[in-house]
Amino acid sequence: MSDAEFGCEHLRDVLERDERAAGQFHQSLLHAYKGQPPKPAEIRSLKPFYPCLECSTLVNRDSVTDSRTNTIFCEGCDDYVYDAELESFLFDPSGLKKRKHGDPETDDDQAYVGANASKRVCGKEGVRGLFNLGQTCYMNVILQTLLHDPLLTTYFLGNNHHTYDCTVQNCISCAVSEAFAEFNNDDKAEGFGALNLLLASWRSSPILSGYQQQDAHEFYQFLVDKLHAGTEDHVEDHNKTCRCFFHNAFYGKLRSSVTCDKCGNVTQMEEQMVDLSLDVQVQKKKRALGGGEMSTTPTLDGCLQSFTSPEKLMADAYNCSGCGNTPQKATKQLRIRKLPVILCMQLKRFEHTLSVSEKVEGKVDFPLSINMLPYTTRTHASNNNNSFTYDLSSAVVHKGKLDAGHYYVYCRQGEQWFLFNDDQVTAVNEAEVLSADAYLLFYTLHALSGSK
């Protein structure tokens, strides 16, 4: 008998125990499959309820079914299991046949199932979904991104935030630290809900409170700001040098240079940045003005080039100090003065005008690795190119309309990519990640050594 004949050895024991036990199991499975879901008032837990398939009650037993997906969860295996004959039974209960020894599937089918089946298909380290607590997919995708970053994992699991003696009310750092501890709990593999982070966010920001959909990009900015503010050695004034962990991890610096077209006077200003907001339409607009081809797919490199390219300012937008503070035409250029370790890039898909707010659809090509040197204030190549090389770690996608969409995220765990759609986790390949219509891209510095 091959392993593929039954979902697992525990399921085999139930179905082969006797005809009465097998019959009870089949009837319970059919009832769970066709039954009505529980009413909201009956749900007392964020986790799915599991009706037992051996006694039909809501208790933990060897074999239960997930109320959301009707898939069978085996408590003995501590994992979901798949049984082809039970799936056939659900579609045609009248066609149930007694399993017999010596009557296996064909050799070819057995070879296929054996090569593609695993009793622990989701039992991978660092792969846990997050329950949607009510329009909280925006929070889940950002939290998954942070949970899969090795630098942040080292920080929080290393007890660098002392939750045991923290006296800050509604502390975001405590809530995130708790999420890291739960996520890396080796004794659990199922999804969990980041309820304390949600509540702390609501209490810290009235804008976030409630079950309405939020912008994942804005939540990322809020979370980074709160983590920075919750560090003991942080400097509140962003115009002063801050050497705290989160400042170095998340914050970079932009330099704005304005050159007077008349006298050549240069005015420079620097400001903190926690991400780069890139216009995905600017390349198409420039090609349209120049009579170029508009069908070419925009690229991340092209968006960065447009972001750091010189921009002409009209005379009413700039007063030159070298020309007696009189209005002059000038050229403005943005460059990156300092890069953070974790670089977030927003591909601006939400446009707001006085008359309308709409979402900009369209694919933007992005790479698995990118050299950020051409977009910095450095004029010459560095001896240490690793200081500017970034690897893709996460890609957040928004599907749907502006005010009624859904977020999911692709995250890299080691060398493998996974799709996290709330508590549903799926292994994917690089090609699927690169074909995504990303909204937020997170890149991590390839090597932490060297100066920027």
Decide if 7 contacts 75 (C-beta within 8 A): no
Contacts by residues 302-306 (CB-CB < 8 Å, ≥ 24 positions apart): 303/278, 303/279, 303/347, 303/364, 304/276, 304/278, 304/372, 304/374, 304/375, 305/374, 305/375, 306/278, 306/279, 306/282
Decide if 309 contacts 377 (C-beta within 8 A): no
Decide if 359 contacts 402 (C-beta within 8 A): yes
Q: State whether the Cα torsion 86-87-93-96 is positive or negative.
A: negative
Q: Reduced to 3 states, what is the DSSP secondary structure of residue 287?
A: helix
Name the β-bridge partners of 394: 411, 442
CB atoms near residue 260 (< 10 Å): 21
Specify whether 260 is catalytic. no
Q: Reduced to 3 states, what is the DSSP secondary structure of residue 279?
A: strand
Q: Identify the active-site residue in 234, 238, 406, 446.
A: 406
Q: Which residue has the tokens 């923290």?
A: 166
Which residues have C-beta within 8 Å of that of residue 146, sequence separation ≥ 6? 152, 176, 223
Which residues have C-beta within 8 Å of that of residue 92, sequence separation ≥ 6? none
Q: Identify the active-site residue in 77, 137, 171, 242.
A: 137
Specify whether 26 is catalytic. no
Query: Could you give the residue numbers annotated as active site?
Result: 137, 406
